[in-house]
Amino acid sequence: MRALAVAERDLKRFSRNPIVIFASILMPLVYLVIMGNSFQGELKHLSLAVVDQDNGPYARRVIELLQAMRDGPRTLDIVKLSDQKKAVDDVKNGFYKGALIIPPRFSEDVIKDVNPQIGLFLDNTDSISAAGISSAVSRSMGYLKSEYVSVRATIAKTQFRAVELYKKIDYDASLVPGIIVMAIFMGTTFTGAFSLVMDKFLGIHESYLSTPLTKMDIVIGIIISGVFITTLMAFIVMMGGMFITGIKLAGGLTSFILLIFTIVLTALGLLSMIFMVLGRADHPRIVGVTIGFLNVIFYFPSGAVYPIESLPGWLKAFAAVNPEAYAVHALKALILKGSGFVAVQNDLIFLAAFTGIMLFFATITFKRTM
Amino acid sequence: MAYAVEIQNIIKKFPSVTAVNDVTFNVDEGEIFGLLGPNGAGKTTLIRILTCIMKPTSGQAKIREFDVVRYPARVRRNIGVVSQAMTSDLDLTAWENMNIYAKYFDLPKKQRKENISYLLKIVELEDRAKDLVATYSGGMRRRLEIARGLVHRPYILFLDEPTIGLDPQSRRVIWDLLQKIRKETNLTIFITTHYMDEADVLCDRIAIIDYGKIVAMDSPSNLKRSIGGFDIIEVSLSNFTPSVMERLKAMKFIKEVAEKEGALRISVEDAAKSMPVLIEEFKKMGVSILYLAIHEQSLEDVFIHYTGKTIREAEAQKVNMFLGAGVPRQLPGSRI
């Protein structure tokens, strides 16, 4: 009987918290939709730069077949460039997933049957996309073979030489940037707005509402402490992740400074966003539910665990405004490739703009009075 | 003379209840003013309006001539607040709590140090200044919060139920502390309480609030006088005779004398003034006093007179709110 009384109390409390009930039902469904669409999709629209230094008939044929991959299963997005160096640099800077170089005299080599070769430079820090491109190009060569069995050439001997631009990176190592972003997000769950919600829950906030502190003082102050703790956490997680997966920072001092800056900016952006969402919440339970929800919808479509290219259109559109996607992209470039400013400038611009907008709304939605 | 607090026709309405209903009064500089009423009467709502935590629906309130709605930043610089809920950070030491709070008011380091040392000494916590507040008793924590409320040397100190939840000894310590602070600094103190004895001991003037309305306001002694009735002196005498009774009845300051089971109940207007005269008269009559007790008019009597119920009955009707000081989730027709 006593146990039933305990159960009755618990059930009544649960039933009188509609947010928790709603979240309990909604969360598994959100997981289903987001995670389901994040992992199972086919890779599409992998960007491939093609440099044709041959301009011969077989080079054109190779490009036609690659374009067929674009028009058919839409695996590849082909961009023609003229400069090999620029193409490879653009891959390093994350603008393309790979660069296909058709060397001079390729057609001639095909015709003469003297071991014709095509170069394929791959961004192997994204191992899944790299494998996807490699596979798509290989399949194209297969079609080339079947269509061009002729008396003049033995195209079967054409080889493409895949060049991995970076030291081999295992899948677990490629997760490190995503784990750092997750650490930043987790940091926002018990700092920042959470401190404010706990103050409200305990009634402590009255002690500072009656002081000269302005809205801006409170918002900025809480975010500063959140950024400090979150950055420190992210840094420790980064070191731990690198130790466990055995990778080292690929870049130099500039890359390292950009790395810290990216972490701070990401922390600022996420803390501001959480502040905007939870600035008026008054119960820690609301924080738990909201954080769980946001974690799913931001983390999985961020490219942290699977390429954004595999996402369906609606989720890819969301990824385009997902701050974690930009953070993951920048951290991958800085940690795994040792890239410079050019590779992450778009990410930093987005994160800065996102932070500014979120901070603005966090301040105006925060209520200074009860 | 400028008033420390001026309140004119303040109304605060929530969706289904009026918490503060057309309240008007002033508080003089240097006085201890008490707002007395049951939990849920509107005391906390009014104090929140005066401390710029909540905006009134209508009406005007000024602290040191600064309107609380138009000049909240100036008001905040002039007030110290001790909330009903314990609001000091448990994870910080007393010194850290006060130091951070003083920084909110832009106090320079030297002044912070001086003020904190002085105030911790006043509240007798200087030996525990470096201890975490989590190790403090409720009374110590409340003393710290009073010190913290004074760290920027405010013009007026607001205390919302400062002794709620404290044991009688700790309550007495807080009362002594507030009287000492007033004596040393001539600070204006605005206090809300539902304890009759607290209001009686501490306050120069009291406003009784019920259902959001001020029903009476004056000094404790005037309030008690205002309701009529008399103080009672109960006395047992060694050799009581009818002639003693006759002589007592003939005295002008005695309103009524009754005898019950050998004890006399003597009704007078002011027991404190009447006592010495009465003792002298008993000496002249040659009777000695075996037992003597005084029952003065209390604020409880005043509260009953003006509200028609005891304060405990009034509290029984309160809305269940977090710490009795939340923004109410009203039920239709419920009180604040």
- Contacting residues of A for B79, CB less than 8 Å apart: 210
Q: Does A210 touch chain B (CB under 8 A)?
A: yes
Q: Is B15 helix (H, G, I), strand (E, B) or coil?
A: coil
B210, B235: one domain: no
B145, B276: one domain: no
Segments making up each domain of chain A, as ranges: 12-38+171-365, 46-164
Give the model's pLDDT for residue A159.
67
- Pairing state between β B188-193 and B156-160: parallel
Based on DSSP, count helices (H) and strands (E) in chain A, helices before strands: 16, 5
Q: Does B12 touch chain A (CB under 8 A)?
A: no
Backbone angles phi, psi at B189, to 5 degrees: -125, 130
Distance CA A296, CA B222 (A): 67
Is B318 within a domain?
no
Residue B257 to residues B137, B261, B277: CA-CA distances in angstroms?
49, 13, 16
Residue B285 to residues B224, B275, B289: CA-CA distances in angstroms?
32, 15, 11
- Name which of B76, B86, B325 is nearest A210 (Cβ-Cβ): B76
Output the domain CATH number for residue B68.
3.40.50.300
Q: How many domains does chain B have?
A: 2
Is B330 within a domain?
no
Is B315 within a domain?
no
What do you get for the CA distance between the two ends of chain B, in Å?
A: 34
State the Rg of chain A over Cα.
Answer: 26
- Contacting residues of A for B101, CB less than 8 Å apart: 207, 211
Cβ atoms < 10 Å from Cβ of B178 = 23
B130, B279: one domain: no
Give the model's pLDDT for residue A258.
93
Q: Which residues of A53-84 are buried (b: 16+ CB within 10 A; e: fewer)?
A: bbebebbebbbebbeebbeeeebbbeeebeeb
Q: B87 and A209: CB-CB below 8 Å?
A: no
B208, B80: one domain: yes
State both tokens at B335.
């009180």
Distance CA A179, CA A304 (A): 8
Q: Does B274 touch chain A (CB under 8 A)?
A: no
Q: A208 and B104: CB-CB below 8 Å?
A: yes
State both tokens at A301.
């479509």
Closest-CA residue of A relative to B149 is A207
DSSP A105-117: THHHHHHHTS--E
Q: Does B323 touch chain A (CB under 8 A)?
A: yes
pTM of the model: 0.75
Q: Is A312 helix (H, G, I), strand (E, B) or coil?
A: coil
B291, B271: one domain: yes
C-beta separation of A184 from A271 below 8 A: no
Give the model's pLDDT for residue B82.
92
To the nearest whole Å, the CA of B205 is away from the closest chain A CA by 25
Q: Locate tokens 């009903």: which residue? A: B84
Which residue, of B295, B314, B330, is where some domain finishes? B295
Give the model's pLDDT for residue B16.
83
- With a CB cutoff of 8 Å and minimum separation 6, the contacts of A287 are A189, A193, A194, A197, A278, A281
What is the block-wise mean pLDDT of chain B (336 residues), using blocks of 10 residues?
90 91 94 89 92 94 95 94 89 93 94 94 91 92 92 93 86 88 89 90 92 91 80 84 86 84 82 86 87 82 77 55 41 39
Q: Is B80 helix (H, G, I), strand (E, B) or coil?
A: strand
Q: Which residues of A267-290 are buried (b: 16+ CB within 10 A; e: fewer)?
A: bbbbbbbbbbbbbebbeeebbebb
**CATH code at A46-164:** 3.40.1710.10
DSSP A9-31: HHHHHHHT-HHHHHHHHHHHHHH
Residues 316-355 of A with CB under 8 A from B: none
Q: Does B54 touch chain A (CB under 8 A)?
A: yes
Q: B87 and A203: CB-CB below 8 Å?
A: yes
Q: Is B183 helix (H, G, I), strand (E, B) or coil?
A: helix
Distance CA B297, CA B270 (A): 9
Helix (H), strand (E) at residue A176: helix A176-190
Each residue's pLDDT tens digit, A51-104: 998 888 888 888 888 887 777 777 888 888 888 889 988 888 888 989 998 888
B192, B244: one domain: no
Q: Does B52 touch chain A (CB under 8 A)?
A: yes
Q: What is the pLDDT along chain A (370 residues), one digit of tens a residue?
A: 777 778 877 777 777 777 767 777 777 787 778 777 777 667 788 889 999 988 888 888 888 888 877 777 778 888 888 888 899 888 888 889 899 988 888 888 888 777 788 888 888 888 888 888 888 888 777 665 555 444 444 444 556 677 777 777 777 888 899 999 999 998 888 888 888 888 888 878 888 888 999 888 888 888 888 899 999 999 999 999 999 988 888 778 888 999 999 999 999 999 999 988 888 887 888 888 888 888 888 998 898 888 887 788 888 899 999 999 999 999 998 998 888 888 899 999 999 999 999 999 988 888 777 6
Give the model's pLDDT for residue A370.
66
Q: A369 and B77: CB-CB below 8 Å?
A: no
DSSP designation for A304: S
Residue B248 domain boundaries: 230-295
N residues, chain A = 370
Best residue in A195, A207, A280, A282 for a mutation probing chain B (most B CBs within 10 Å): A207
Closest-CA residue of A relative to B53 is A369
Q: A211 and B76: CB-CB below 8 Å?
A: yes
Q: Locate tokens 């054109």: which residue? A: A60
- With a CB cutoff of 8 Å and minimum separation 6, the contacts of A82 are A51
Give the model's pLDDT for residue B272.
81
Which residue, of B172, B199, B225, is where some domain finishes? B225
- Name which of B77, B85, B323 is nearest A212 (Cβ-Cβ): B77
- Contacting residues of A for B158, CB less than 8 Å apart: 210
Closest CA to B177 of B199, B147, B149: B147
Which residue, of B225, B257, B273, is where some domain finishes? B225
Distance CA A234, CA A266 (A): 10
- Contacting residues of B for A204, CB less than 8 Å apart: 85, 87, 89
B114, B14: one domain: yes
Is B325 within a domain?
no
Distance CA A25, CA A28 (A): 6
B21, B80: one domain: yes
Output the domain CATH number for residue B241.
3.30.70.260
Closest-CA residue of B relative to A195 is B89
Q: B105 and A212: CB-CB below 8 Å?
A: yes
B145, B237: one domain: no
B79, B212: one domain: yes
Size of interface A-B (CB pairs under 8 A): 56
Q: Does B51 touch chain A (CB under 8 A)?
A: yes
Give the model's pLDDT for residue B312.
60
Q: Does B88 touch chain A (CB under 8 A)?
A: yes
Type of residue at A154: T
Q: Does B79 touch chain A (CB under 8 A)?
A: yes
B272, B168: one domain: no
- Contacting residues of B for A190, CB less than 8 Å apart: none
Is B314 within a domain?
no
Closest-CA residue of A relative to B82 is A207
Is B147 within a domain?
yes
B156, B14: one domain: yes
Backbone angles phi, psi at B260, to 5 degrees: -140, 120
